[in-house]
Amino acid sequence: MSETNSTQPSHFIVQEIEADLAAGKVGHVHTRFPPEPNGYLHIGHAKAICIVFGLADQFEGQCNLRLDDTNPAKEEQEYIDSIKEDVQWLGFDWANLCHASDYFDQLYDWAVALVKAGYAYVDDQTADEIRENRGTLNTPGTNSPFRDRPAEESLDLLARMKAGEFDEGSRVLRAKVDMASPNIVMRDPAMYRILKQSHPRTGDAWCIYPMYDWAHGQSDWIEGITHSLCSLEFKNNRELYEWFIDKIAEVSGHPEGVAHKTRQIEFARGNITYMITSKRKLLQLITDGHVTGWDDPRMPTIRGMRRRGYTPAAIRRFWDEAGVAKRENNIEFAKLENVLRSDLNAFAQRRMAVADPIKVTITNYPDDQVEMFDAQNNPENEADGTRQVPFSKHLYIERDDYKPNANRKFFRLTEGREVRLRWAYWIKCNEAITDADGNVTELLCTYDPDTRGGEDPPPDEEGNVRKVKGTIHWVSQAHAIDAELRLYEHLFTKEDPEDVEEGQDWLTNINPESLKVVTAKAEPALADDQPGTPLQFERNAYFVRDTEATNTDGQPVFNRTVTLRDTWAKQQKKG
């Protein structure tokens, strides 16, 4: 029997698997991740990935990646490739790469066997008629007028469907279960539909394709999956999956196969505030032009979050800390950001960039002098070393680091007060230059040469030591590079984007200020930072150099990953 790794989190699924192993119901653990390749994976899929791959590792078992490619009308090679890449980016790998299409021949043979045994039939009703006759939660469904057609007739029609003789939507193959079942999923579900679409793997070999519910459970069975772990939305489908396996075992003459039935265990999805993860709605955001694509950094897709600067370690840790529950719950987005900050703080390289610059002239500094200061790359890790930052007479600082005639509670730059320039000198503001409209355009300051490196100056003759409370960042004007900063906020203004008034839809809650673009003055080291490298712009936020974009002026583009603290909550309170 496999033993769990004690360092891994424990929850009800762990307990269920441990019980199955202890009782001898299974001798090992074999899970699977079965996405449909009809879109990009999102943060909700990341939870499932962490669970199924994580449990396989925890019990020293295996996990398959199986692409449930049963609907070529919505599937593309782009999605297939992205799914594999995203799983590996999150830090996992699969024991076997499988596809539902691997089993198309077997599934069809089993369907023929079920028809012969009276457990399936070809229905000529339209999709609307089938839907109308399915009934409701309170009323039973109505039998199809074709439900009792002879097996020979259904077999002939099924073969002709497979041969491409009929139009799309004209016929389906349905399982004959129970139209009065309280579980609507069991009311004669469709098994095959006519779909004359080329498949990414099988080409034009098929013009009928299995429905997800027909292919899914059998694929688990074929692959020897011991534990089928899925979200609560598939709880009602479990009865159907087991019905199919029982009937296949019966018609195949191998009823003992039932003993190897995959055990399905459901867990609650992870809903995060300010996010929507419906593939249909994510696609609508793209097609309607609210975002630029699946990898837009505002999207909850793994690809979008990756481009924004999220790390796989932060996503894994977030879902570990969120836990695995049996009931749906909403997780505050701030918790995801807190985990991300903690992760980035340990290794993000520090840089200086001024997003809203105001010019500073140090009047007592030599005109042509340039000094190089050692700046620490990461105070959390001395091994990251230092970099050289140029300093000169003319600098840029953040506009909000100056306030005219500020009181003592303002610890940054104001007339007659000193601040420390990070890694450089102490400076004192003496005068503010304004334009005709009264806007400050330049600050005239002096520096203290005895504070080189930002160190405290020596005591005066009476032993008194000057103190300074404020430290601000800066950039040398002569050496600064222009950098485009993309400042991202929530894509939606409400915690629940679906919370709308009557007559409105979820698109009403799109945040018109989810992206703000500014040109910053940045230290020259930023020009050499590679795309995808996590950075902390000191006193500002965490950023990452964009992997896809350079702006029209050739400036490097940096995406804001997360602010240094939760500023969104404060903004909402003000609103």
Query: What whole-number distance in Å separates Cα of residue 536 and Cα of residue 376?
Result: 12
Query: What whole-number distance in Å separates Cα of residue 130 and Cα of residue 324?
Result: 37
- Token pair of 46 as six digits: 């990341």
DSSP secondary structure, 3-46, as one string: ---TTS---HHHHHHHHHHHTTS-SS-EEEE---SSS--BHHHH
549 annotated to a ligand binding site? no
Residue 269 phi, psi dihedral angles, 5° rounding = -65, 160
96 annotated to a ligand binding site? no
> According to DSSP H, which parts of 147-301 are helical?
151-162, 212-223, 237-251, 279-287
175 annotated to a ligand binding site? no
State which amino acid sits at residue 47: K
11 annotated to a ligand binding site? no
47 annotated to a ligand binding site? yes
Query: What whole-number distance in Å separates Cα of residue 496 and Cα of residue 168?
Result: 38
Is residue 322 within 8 Å of 405, Cβ to Cβ?
no
Which residues form the catalytic set? 36, 269, 279
266 annotated to a ligand binding site? no
What 8-state DSSP symbol labels residue 61? -
Nearest CA among 84, 46, 48 for reference residue 67: 84
Query: What whole-number distance in Å separates Cα of residue 251 and Cα of residue 205?
Result: 26
36 annotated to a ligand binding site? yes
254 annotated to a ligand binding site? no
Query: What whole-number distance in Å separates Cα of residue 569 and Cα of residue 575?
Result: 10
37 annotated to a ligand binding site? yes
143 annotated to a ligand binding site? no
205 annotated to a ligand binding site? no
Q: How far apart are the first and last CA of the chain?
A: 57
520 annotated to a ligand binding site? no
Q: How far is CA 22 from CA 62, 244, 306, 334, in A?
A: 18, 28, 40, 40
Binding residue positions for L-glutamine: 68, 212
Binding residue positions for ATP: 36-38, 42-48
Binding residue positions: 36-38, 42-48, 68, 212
